[in-house]
Every structure is written in structure tokens, then in C-alpha cells.
């Protein structure tokens, strides 16, 4: 299952970077796995319209072993625009209750845009959640949107 998710993400990103897409697109994927006292979670998404594209990803893991609890979280984003503006940022935050990665990517060219955002949380009590929203739009057309939520709501 995990290999399929990674293949889907890589395939989507390759299609988006080819510039061969005529319609706005937005795709998201996610996965969660638990083995014994360890859990991992992640979600990712990409969007493209016209000469713009945006992608984000978030990953988290939690392990409760004999040595104690260990948690990690990561996120990343990327955006591109042929003639417009592109920005991406990732923030990692930690407090006594949880760790959080928030990634956002936006690309705009006139009225055409692509956006993606991923929010991944690893709570110290063991709860893992990840959500990705992606959207793209060209003026005069219908927007393409996709959302994936994994874990508790």
C-alpha cells in the first residue's frame, strides 16, 4: 500500500511538470500504518492549471518502546509558475501536547492559480492525523479540488 501511494504521488508530480495538461487538476493521497507500538501517517497533494503547479506533503511517526516515546513530523511544499508568482513555506511547531507540520504552496499567473496545503499532527498521546487540500482554477472554468483526511477528525 505504501509503495502504491508513493508511486501515485511521483506519477502525479511528473504529469504536472510536463505542462501537457489542458484541464485544471487536483489530486491528493494519504496513508496510515500501525505495527505494534509504532504508527506512521502521511498525506500529499498536487494541483496544476495553465502554467502553474503546486504540491505539498506531510509525514509523521510515533513509537512507544521500552526506552520511551519517540515522535517525528516533517513537511514540504513546492510551487512553480511560468510567468507568474510562486511561493511555498513549511512551519514545524512543537508544544507539550503535539508536533505539527504545516506546508503551503501557491502559484498564480493572472487569474489562473494552483494551491496545495498539508497539515500533519503527531500528538504525544499517540494520535496521528494528516490532511491535504489541493485546488486549481483557470478563469471561465470550473475549479478542480481534492481533499484527503487520514486519522481522527
The domain locations on the chain are 2-151
Confidence (pLDDT) at 22: 60
pTM: 0.83
In this structure, the number of other CB atoms found within 10 A of the CB of residue 141 comes to: 12
Mean pLDDT over 76-93 rounds to 97
What pLDDT, in 10s, does the model give residues 100-145? 999 999 999 999 999 999 999 999 888 999 999 999 999 999 999 9
User: What confidence score (pLDDT) does residue 14 get?
Assistant: 44
Q: What is the mean pLDDT of the chain?
A: 87
Q: Give the list of residues 6+ apart from residue 14 with CB closer than 8 angstroms, or none.
A: none
Q: What is the pLDDT confidence band of residue 47, given thresholds at 50, 70 and 90?
A: very high
For residues 21-30, give the mean pLDDT. 87
Q: Give percent above pLDDT 70 in the chain.
A: 85
pLDDT of residue 48: 97
Exposure string of 42-79, with b = 16+ CB inside 10 Å and e = fewer, is: bbbbbbbbbbbbbbbbbbbbbbeeeeeeebebbbbbbb
Amino acid at each position: 500500500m505504501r509503495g502504491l501511494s508513493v508511486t501515485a504521488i511521483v506519477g502525479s508530480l511528473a504529469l504536472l511538470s510536463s505542462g501537457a495538461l489542458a484541464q485544471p487538476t487536483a489530486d491528493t493521497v494519504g496513508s496510515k500504518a500501525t505495527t505494534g507500538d509504532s504508527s506512521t501517517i502521511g498525506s500529499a497533494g498536487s494541483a496544476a492549471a495553465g502554467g502553474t503547479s503546486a504540491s505539498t506533503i506531510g509525514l509523521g511517526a510515533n513509537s512507544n518502546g521500552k526506552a520511551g516515546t519517540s515522535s517525528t513530523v516533517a513537511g514540504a511544499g513546492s510551487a512553480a509558475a511560468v510567468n507568474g508568482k510562486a511561493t511555498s513555506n513549511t512551519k514545524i511547531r512543537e508544544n507539550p501536547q503535539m508536533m505539527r507540520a504545516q506546508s503551503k504552496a501557491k502559484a498564480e499567473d493572472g487569474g489562473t492559480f494552483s494551491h496545495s496545503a498539508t497539515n500533519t499532527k503527531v500528538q504525544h498521546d499517540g494520535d496521528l492525523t494528516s490532511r491535504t487540500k489541493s485546488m486549481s482554477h483557470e478563469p471561465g472554468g470550473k475549479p478542480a479540488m481534492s481533499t484527503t483526511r487520514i486519522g481522527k477528525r
